């Protein structure tokens, strides 16, 4: 019986272990076995590795993946868009499956908060068959019902993994906190989510985009993406000074839309200061529970803010992300985020590199 190698998180903050799992024999209807071509390291993976989110271990991480279909189960003949699907096709997929039956899926039409949602690379214990539910592996077995997307030939794997779940997350976020064309938009953070939010803001017709983040190599990416103003958090480490710089760019009353993509909870208080009265403040970066802040709710009332949260995304947003990536300049910009590549055996180094903010985007090429 042939086996499949995977890098497995077996203990928090410890080196990943390379383990071998049996390759699935016959596939059940609707399943797909995919050979991984490239797996992105998401910032969330670092949080998982550090034990900051409630997950089962051992787990094969990796929820931003591109691969080629090796085998399909009965009935799997079309991708999510209705395109024909067959072995050999290069694909990506939505990282989680909503049940379609719970209170949130049905009554509230809000599948991102599905009560029993499971995500590849996060929610599956790899001790349990069929084991192969994450991207840090030679192969992954996709469940029936996974939203699979065939990648157009003209769209490089690097673009898709470079955009990763950051782009779909940003697209969903902006759906919840819509940007009107002509808006002034501030993006806090220049990690993958910040850059993706910047791309979406530009696509949505922001008249002016102001990005505040770092380190310098990521600010350079923000400039290449098209930010009108780029501010280095380090160069202006004082909060008041930073606020002055941002307001100089937005106009004295602040921005119409502020998108927090930082993750540090303090960024929320800072972002509120960038909001004009009545602004939308999209809190997009607080995926991990990184603790409390001292917060004045009077500000929400007085400035009549809209503080809007957004969690994950639906397959519709993968569809839109791929369409965006095919357009114009974005294909290159997102591919250009990838600066570090590691083989499966060096998955640890990939995590460490991501954790240290040294990379644009880090990927595993098994």
| Calpha distance 258→252 (Å, rounded) | 15
223 binds a copy of itself (CB under 8 A): no
> Which listed residue (44, 126, 146, 310) binds a copy of itself by CB under 8 A?
310
Shortest approach of a copy of itself to residue 105 CB, angstroms?
A: 11
| Calpha distance 110→130 (Å, rounded) | 29
Shortest approach of a copy of itself to residue 236 CB, angstroms?
A: 22
| Contact call for residues 191 and 42 (beta carbons, < 8 A) | no
329 binds a copy of itself (CB under 8 A): no
Shortest approach of a copy of itself to residue 47 CB, angstroms?
A: 11
| Calpha distance 89→103 (Å, rounded) | 35
Q: Considering beta carbons, is residue 44 or 359 the nearer one to a copy of itself?
A: 44
73-112 residues near a copy of itself, rule: CB under 8 A: 78, 80-82, 100-104, 106-110, 112
154 binds a copy of itself (CB under 8 A): no
| Calpha distance 134→132 (Å, rounded) | 6
| Contact call for residues 63 and 119 (beta carbons, < 8 A) | yes
| Calpha distance 284→308 (Å, rounded) | 8
> Which listed residue (29, 215, 309, 356) binds a copy of itself by CB under 8 A?
309
> Which listed residue (229, 306, 339, 353) binds a copy of itself by CB under 8 A?
306
Total chain residues near a copy of itself (CB under 8 A)? 70
229 binds a copy of itself (CB under 8 A): no
Task: Give the burial string for 85-111 (b: 16+ CB within 10 Å, else e).
Answer: beeebbbbbbbbbbeeebebbeeeeeb
Shortest approach of a copy of itself to residue 177 CB, angstroms?
A: 9
57 binds a copy of itself (CB under 8 A): no
143 binds a copy of itself (CB under 8 A): no
Distance of CA 290 to the CA centre of its chain: 18
| Calpha distance 51→293 (Å, rounded) | 21
327 binds a copy of itself (CB under 8 A): yes
* Angle between helices 192-203 and 216-225 in degrees, nearest 10: 20
Shortest approach of a copy of itself to residue 290 CB, angstroms?
A: 7
Instruction: Quickly list DSSP for 33-89.
Output: EEEEEEEE--HHHHHHHTT-S---SSB----SEEEEEEEE-TT--B-TTS-B--TT-
Of all helices (H) and strands (E), which one includes residue 339?
Answer: strand 338-342
- The distance between the two most distant Cα atoms of the chain, rounded to a whole number of Å, is 67
Shortest approach of a copy of itself to residue 201 CB, angstroms?
A: 9
The window from 11-19, 122-130, 132-140, 315-323 that contacts a copy of itself (CB under 8 A) reads: 315-323
Q: Considering beta carbons, is residue 330 or 342 the nearer one to a copy of itself?
A: 330
118 binds a copy of itself (CB under 8 A): no
| Calpha distance 66→38 (Å, rounded) | 5
Shortest approach of a copy of itself to residue 345 CB, angstroms?
A: 34
To 5 degrees, how large is the angle CA 165–CA 340–CA 118? 25
Handedness of CA 93, 95, 101, 103 (dihedral sign): negative
> Which listed residue (182, 216, 343, 356) binds a copy of itself by CB under 8 A?
182
Q: Which two tokens stand for residue 195?
A: 């850059």
336-365 residues near a copy of itself, rule: CB under 8 A: none
269-298 residues near a copy of itself, rule: CB under 8 A: 276-278, 283-298
Q: Considering beta carbons, is residue 60 or 171 the nearer one to a copy of itself?
A: 171
Q: Considering beta carbons, is residue 17 or 311 the nearer one to a copy of itself?
A: 311
313 binds a copy of itself (CB under 8 A): no
| Calpha distance 93→144 (Å, rounded) | 12
Q: Considering beta carbons, is residue 36 or 55 the nearer one to a copy of itself?
A: 55
Rule CB under 8 A: which residues touch a copy of itself? 78, 80-82, 100-104, 106-110, 112-113, 174, 176, 178-182, 200, 203-205, 207, 253, 265, 268, 276-278, 283-311, 315-316, 319-320, 323-324, 327
């Amino acid at each position: 019986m042939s086996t499949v190698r995977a890098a497995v998180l077996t203990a928090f903050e410890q080196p990943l272990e390379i383990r071998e799992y049996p390759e699935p024999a016959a596939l059940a209807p609707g399943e797909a076995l995919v050979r991984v071509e490239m797996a992105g390291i998401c910032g969330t993976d670092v949080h998982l590795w550090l034990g900051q989110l409630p997950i089962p271990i051992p787990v094969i991480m990796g929820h931003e993946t591109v691969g080629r279909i090796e085998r399909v189960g009965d009935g799997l003949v079309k991708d999510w868009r209705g395109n024909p699907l067959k072995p050999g096709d290069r694909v990506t997929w939505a990282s989680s499956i909503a049940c379609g039956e719970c209170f949130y899926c049905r009554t509230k039409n809000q599948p991102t908060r599905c009560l029993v949602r499971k995500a590849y690379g996060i929610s599956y214990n790899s001790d349990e068959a069929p084991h192969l539910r994450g991207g840090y592996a030679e192969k992954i077995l996709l469940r029936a019902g996974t939203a699979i997307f065939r990648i157009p030939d003209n769209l490089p794997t690097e673009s898709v993994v470079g955009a990763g779940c950051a782009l779909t997350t940003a697209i969903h976020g902006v759906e919840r906190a819509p940007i009107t064309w002509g808006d002034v938009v501030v993006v806090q953070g220049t990690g993958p989510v910040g850059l993706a939010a910047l791309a979406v803001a530009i696509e949505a017709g922001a008249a002016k985009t102001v990005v505040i983040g770092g380190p310098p190599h990521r600010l350079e990416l923000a400039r290449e993406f098209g930010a009108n103003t780029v501010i280095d958090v380090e160069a202006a480490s004082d909060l008041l000074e930073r606020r002055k710089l941002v307001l100089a760019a937005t106009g004295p009353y602040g921005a119409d839309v502020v998108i927090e993509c930082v993750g540090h909870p303090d960024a929320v208080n800072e972002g509120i200061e960038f909001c004009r009265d009545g602004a939308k403040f999209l809190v997009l970066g607080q995926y991990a529970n990184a603790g409390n802040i001292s917060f004045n709710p009077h500000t929400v009332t007085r400035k009549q803010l809209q503080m809007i949260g957004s969690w994950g995304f639906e397959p519709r947003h993968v569809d839109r992300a791929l369409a965006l990536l095919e357009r114009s300049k974005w294909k290159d910009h997102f591919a250009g985020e990838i600066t570090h590549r590691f083989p499966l055996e060096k998955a640890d180094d990939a995590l460490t590199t991501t954790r240290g903010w040294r990379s644009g985007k880090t990927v595993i090429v098994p």
